[in-house]
């Protein structure tokens, strides 16, 4: 019978699974950062020498460098120190070990020397940052080609290494055409709990680029990589791919067909149904010298054909269109937050908004605070501080999850009127259930997260001053399909027969007790 399962072990298991996924991707070829004299005109961009046969590589981002070991699992077998900025190439060697620490080790080569590296923090980019050479498919030839893009941000820095603390090589102008050599995704532990990963949590992407004889790294600053001819069209038409929101001010705006760039006015009736309408926007460009934004049409707009379709004909209502800048105001995600904070319906302590906003925005997440709310989750007689959950919608989607919407929450501790965040971001589209499972005067939370087999319960509780997910404790012990039945946690465990040919499920029940699970009978 399992009595008190250890939380630390369980959380480490989740990390190891994710980290193992990153390390099993392999290899890459060295392409040093340089500032060489351009051999061609300023507008000419040659593809960098990224080798297609190399699957993945990494740049060391630890200021102290990392050790190269001759033997895995032997910290005394150090043969070299790989300095900050050093490039390591992952090999296809599989490290066979039953140790739970195996996923922290990787077989690599550095300057032609074979060895092993150990890093418990590489997934968040603290020791080294993994990159993958990038190619894009040409739809006409169905062949892969070098990837290109344009710089979308007004002020972009070219970094020597994929690290915001790295040296800035130069600034890159908006709309500059670049060859995209490689990319790498860096998750933030604040937003990358298991729910965020299930539901498409936020991410930060570094791109290795080359242009005009220069090569380095840019951070979240380019359009989606495409073939060169398409990127050149983006450069010419000043097409920027950037998520934002368009606030309509016109009752009957002019919409342009996203395919033909012609106005819908002759065929469709366009009317705003609600005041203060916000529409998602992912792109801006010039049409006949006019600034327009690509918007997704929703039930907040009436878009109907002027003529009723003939019998048997479909009513082809467009689902996206370009809208003129003169018919409203465009907000980036950051500026949209400014607007919604100023117009929030929340009438409580505004300090809570300030804390939550700063906590999210330092991780690059800009929220819609129109529906911001704070709920107390500790009782009046709780012997210590007061605890609250602060929640608000992502973008303008409110509480309905549509791929980018949903509710993002943070647990706050209040001491003498001062709020302090004590949880990672909780991102869900489902209502949160609050229940004091161990009767200690502070609520535990049950969050439903979608899985392939249906919704699964994720239980959050207070342990060592932080609100954390306890599911990994049960996962580590082989339990799954976690659900709450009254005050009991119901789980399943699959048991293999002695010959290994058959499996059967066992139902287990646990009682939650101050950050631990105690197995009980039904």
Which pLDDT score is estimated for 276?
65
Does residue 285 sit within a domain? yes
Does residue 344 sit within a domain? no
Q: What is the mean pLDDT of residues 246-261?
A: 83
In this structure, the answer to whether residues 285 and 226 fall within a common structural domain is no
In this structure, the answer to whether residues 514 and 493 fall within a common structural domain is yes
pLDDT higher than 70, residue 190? no
Does residue 45 sit within a domain? yes
In this structure, the answer to whether residues 48 and 180 fall within a common structural domain is yes
In this structure, the answer to whether residues 88 and 215 fall within a common structural domain is yes
DSSP string, 428-448: ESSPPEEE-TT-SSB-EEEEE
Mind spelling out the 3-state secondary structure of 268-284?
Answer: EEEEECCCCCEEEEEEE
Strands 328-332 and 240-248: antiparallel
Max avg pLDDT among 171-185, 253-267, 337-351, 440-454: 171-185
Q: What is the pTM of this model?
A: 0.66
Structure tokens that stand for 339 in this block: 């607007």
In this structure, the answer to whether residues 303 and 371 fall within a common structural domain is no
In this structure, the answer to whether residues 313 and 450 fall within a common structural domain is no
149-153, 241-245, 266-270 — which is least confidently predicted? 266-270
At 382-428, the pLDDT tens digits run 666 889 999 988 765 443 333 345 788 899 998 888 899 998 888 87
What is the pLDDT of the chain when averaged over all its residues? Answer: 78
Does residue 58 sit within a domain? yes
In this structure, the answer to whether residues 142 and 251 fall within a common structural domain is no
pLDDT higher than 80, residue 317? no
Asked if 57 and 29 count as a contact pair (C-beta separation under 8 A), the reply is: yes
In this structure, the answer to whether residues 26 and 168 fall within a common structural domain is yes
In 3D, which of 486, 483, 471 has the Cα closest to residue 508?
483
pLDDT higher than 90, residue 110? yes
Q: What is the mean pLDDT of residues 99-119?
A: 86
Which pLDDT score is estimated for 417?
82
Does residue 346 sit within a domain? no
CA pseudo-torsion sign 141, 145, 151, 152: positive
Where are the alpha helices (H) located in 129-263, listed in sequence order? 194-198, 228-237
Does residue 341 sit within a domain? no
In this structure, the answer to whether residues 78 and 133 fall within a common structural domain is yes
Structure tokens that stand for 226 in this block: 């495409």
% pLDDT > 70, the chain: 79
Does residue 299 sit within a domain? yes
| 432 vs 77: which has the higher pLDDT | 77
In this structure, the answer to whether residues 111 and 165 fall within a common structural domain is yes
* Residues 6 or more apart in contact with residue 33 via CB below 8 angstroms: 85, 160, 161, 169, 215, 216, 217
Which pLDDT score is estimated for 319?
79
In this structure, the answer to whether residues 287 and 181 fall within a common structural domain is no
In this structure, the answer to whether residues 414 and 288 fall within a common structural domain is no
Structure tokens that stand for 329 in this block: 């105001």
From 237, 264, 295, the end of a domain falls on 237
At 269-282, the pLDDT tens digits run 888 877 667 888 88
Alpha-carbon distance of 113 to 108, in angstroms, equals 8
Does residue 75 sit within a domain? yes
At 45-102, the pLDDT tens digits run 766 554 446 788 999 988 889 999 999 889 899 999 999 999 999 988 888 877 767 7
Taking the mean position of all CA atoms in its chain, how far away is CA 126?
Answer: 17
- DSSP-derived secondary structure letter, 379: -
Q: What is the mean pLDDT of residues 496-518?
A: 79
Domain that holds residue 301: 240-334
Bridge partners (DSSP) of residue 118 are 105
At 44-53, the pLDDT tens digits run 676 655 444 6
From 190, 218, 237, the end of a domain falls on 237
From 205, 237, 269, the end of a domain falls on 237
Residue 475, Cβ neighbours under 10 Å: how many? 18
Q: What is the mean pLDDT of residues 363-376?
A: 85
The count of structural domains within the chain is: 3
């Amino acid at each position: 019978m399992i009595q008190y399962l250890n939380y630390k072990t369980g959380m480490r298991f989740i990390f190891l699974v994710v980290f193992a996924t990153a390390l099993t991707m392999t290899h890459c070829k060295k392409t040093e950062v340089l500032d060489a004299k351009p051999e061609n005109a300023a507008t000419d961009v040659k593809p960098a020498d990224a080798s297609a046969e190399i699957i993945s590589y990494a740049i060391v981002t630890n200021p102290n460098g990392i050790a190269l070991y001759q033997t895995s699992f032997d910290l005394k077998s150090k043969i070299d120190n790989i300095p900050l900025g050093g490039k390591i190439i992952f090999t296809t060697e599989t490290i066979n070990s039953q140790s739970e620490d195996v996923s922290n080790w990787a077989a690599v080569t550095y300057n032609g020397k074979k060895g092993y590296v150990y890093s418990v923090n590489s997934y968040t980019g603290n020791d080294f940052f993994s990159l993958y050479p990038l190619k894009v498919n040409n739809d006409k030839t169905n062949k892969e080609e070098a990837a290109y893009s344009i710089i979308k941000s007004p002020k972009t820095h070219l970094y020597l290494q994929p690290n915001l603390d790295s040296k800035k090589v130069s600034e890159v102008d908006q709309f500059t055409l670049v060859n995209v050599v490689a990319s790498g995704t860096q998750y933030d532990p604040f937003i990358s709990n298991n729910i965020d990963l299930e539901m498409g949590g936020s991410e930060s992407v570094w791109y290795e680029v080359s242009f005009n004889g220069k090569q380095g790294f840019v951070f979240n600053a380019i359009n989606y990589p495409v073939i060169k001819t398409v990127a050149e069209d983006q450069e010419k038409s000043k097409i920027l791919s950037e998520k934002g929101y368009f606030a309509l001010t016109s009752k009957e705006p002019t919409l342009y067909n996203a395919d033909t760039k012609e106005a819908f006015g002759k065929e469709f009736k366009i009317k705003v149904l609600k005041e203060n309408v916000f529409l998602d926007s992912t792109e801006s460009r010039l049409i006949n010298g006019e600034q327009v934004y690509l918007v997704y049409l929703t039930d907040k707009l009436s878009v109907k054909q002027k003529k009723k379709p003939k019998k048997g004909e479909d009513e082809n209502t467009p689902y996206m269109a370009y809208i003129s800048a003169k018919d409203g105001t465009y907000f980036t995600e950051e500026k949209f937050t400014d607007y919604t904070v100023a117009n929030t319906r929340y009438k409580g302590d505004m300090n809570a908004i300030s804390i939550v906003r700063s906590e999210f925005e330092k991780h690059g997440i800009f929220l819609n605070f129109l529906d911001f709310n704070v709920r107390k989750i500790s009782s009046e007689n709780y012997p210590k501080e007061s605890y609250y959950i602060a929640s608000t919608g992502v973008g303008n989607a409110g509480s309905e999850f549509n791929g980018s919407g949903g509710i993002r929450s943070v647990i706050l501790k209040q001491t003498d009127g001062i709020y302090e965040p004590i949880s990672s971001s909780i991102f869900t589209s489902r209502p949160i259930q609050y229940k004091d499972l161990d009767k200690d005067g502070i609520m535990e939370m049950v969050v439903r997260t979608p899985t392939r087999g249906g919704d699964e319960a994720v239980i959050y509780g207070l342990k060592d001053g932080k609100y954390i997910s306890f599911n990994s404790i049960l996962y580590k012990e082989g339990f799954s399909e976690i659900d709450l039945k009254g005050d009991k946690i119901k789980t399943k465990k699959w048991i293999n027969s002695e010959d290994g040919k058959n499996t059967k499920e066992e139902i287990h029940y646990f009682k939650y007790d101050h950050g631990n699970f105690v197995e009980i009978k039904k």
